[in-house]
Amino acid sequence: MKISVPKEIKNHEYRVGLVPHSVAELTHLGHEVFVETQAGAAIGFSDADYAAAGATILATAEETFDIADLIVKVKEPQLAECARLKQTQTLFTYLHLAADKPQAEALMASGATCIAYETVTEPQGGLPLLRPMSEVAGRISVHVGATYLHKAFGGRGVLLGGVPGVAPAKVVIIGGGVSGVNAAQMAIGLSADVTLFDINPHKLIEIDHLFHGRVKTAYSSKAALADAIKEADLVIGAVLIPGAAAPKLVSKAQLKTMKPGAVLVDIAIDQGGCFETSHATTHQDPIYIVDGIVHYCVANMPGAVARTSTLALNNATLPFVVKMAQMGVSAALAADTHLKAGLNVANGQITYKAVADALDLPFAA
């Protein structure tokens, strides 16, 4: 199979679909891998590294897309990239279509088979290709939240862990999934006062046991969450409905009840965001302020630590890439129901119901 790795073009996106070790695995199995020049250079993977792993280096994105049977990326294709896709090709990447109708329609128009990392499942019921980036995003959320609490950025001027004689910051985490748990781990490590909300009582019990009571847990009713954010210094939105748009859990009106200079970090922004006032930002221009509340809504948060993120993501995606290369995409989808759960677009139609519902587009089973 001919497998291509284009250079990512989203703002400040330095991750890359395959690292040299992954390329070496595929070329050892007899597949051809084509890598756009400088695709991994920003995070220490040179063209020479890829060539040594058996890849062919191509000069342009156009060449890299054109030659491929399977295209492996990280971020959702930009519209210029969608236009390069062909009906005979398969795209394997994050898509997050529920919040991006123009991209969905462009992928439908291409006729390509599009498999989304974020909806691939596993026998244990989790999302194995979303998990590594959720781990990274959860941990980063506390780093950036602590930073933007600094007064120079419009924050409250509060140190997350406090000091002896001064209380720590109050951190509210909404969602007890992978991102929320990793955020809690980091916040507790910095000695913050942490409360985590979820709607699954079993998840709350699990988190209480995991952190030995150091994280306060609460059922995520509207009233309880509304009370908590009034006292919060940092609110981290970490909710996920696989493939679907995130629910809006904090309204614009509620911002006026919060402490001036409090910070909202929206990990769910790739799925449209879980705060009513959220809109996607970039690493270049990451924050904005609404009613005195600092919003951090960067749509590719793990890109900030691109080398760590790329290596973690490759550990999860490579087995699926190998399976598609060895079996062919159609046979792999037929044989693996968990990979097939990642199929979002095929033959010009939306094939993932939550995406179709979110975008008010026809669903093809």
Residues acting as catalytic residues: 96, 270
> Which candidate, 270, 237, 250, places its Cα nearest to that of 171?
237
Task: List CB contacts of 182: < 8 A, sequence separation 6 or more.
Answer: 134, 135, 136, 137, 138, 139
Q: What's the sign of the alpha-carbon dihedral 146, 151, 155, 159?
A: positive
Rounded to 5°, angle at Cα 104 from 303 and 87 = 105
Give dist(CA 117, CA 238) in Å, integer: 18
Contact present, 334 and 112 (Cβ < 8 Å): no
Contact present, 107 and 361 (Cβ < 8 Å): no
> Which candidate, 142, 264, 126, places its Cα nearest to that of 193?
142
285 exposed, middle or buried (CB, 10 Å; 0-12, 13-18, 19+)? exposed
Give dist(CA 265, CA 296) in Å, integer: 5
> Which candidate, 253, 327, 306, 287, places its Cα nearest to that of 69?
327
Give dist(CA 311, CA 201) in Å, integer: 34
192 exposed, middle or buried (CB, 10 Å; 0-12, 13-18, 19+)? buried
200 exposed, middle or buried (CB, 10 Å; 0-12, 13-18, 19+)? middle
DSSP labels, 93-138: E---GGG-HHHHHHHHHHT-EEEEGGG---TTSS-TTTHHHHHHHH
